[in-house]
Amino acid sequence: MFKGLGDMGDLSKMMEAAQQMQTKMAEMQEGLARLTVTGEAGGGLVKATATAKGELTALEIDPSIFVASEKEVVEDLILAAIKDAQRRATDKAQAEMARLTREMGLPADMKLPF
């Protein structure tokens, strides 16, 4: 493409690859906002749904746990479900990042800004 420019041709290829990576990263970020995960606590009595980016989008609580004397247990279950959803979101995001780096031929342990 840039004959006679020596290493400039390689620089051009590197810039093109960087631009492709930036585009793919943006697409992945959009995809993570659409992917959802659900965390659970108390054997499914409390469920928290979040995007793969970690944004909590829904909370489902089985009405059978609404007993005034069990308030602290319910609060603990809600927190546990949210933490589980956040962990699953992080795992999903890491899996998507690993997939992207693999597709781009980058080392699996390479940390990209994200």
Per-residue pLDDT reduced to its tens digit, 31-82: 888 888 999 999 999 999 998 888 899 999 999 988 889 889 999 999 999 9
Query: d(Cα 87, Cα 69) in Å, to the nearest integer?
Result: 29
Provide the token pair at 50.
């979040």
What is the Rg, in whole angstroms, of the alpha carbon atoms belonging to the chain? 22
**pTM for the full model?**
0.65
DSSP string over 19-62: HHHHHHHHHHHHHHHH-EEEEEETTTTEEEEEETTS-EEEEEE-
Q: pLDDT band at residue 111, thresholds of 50, 70 and 90?
A: low
Residue carrying structure tokens 């990576």: 21
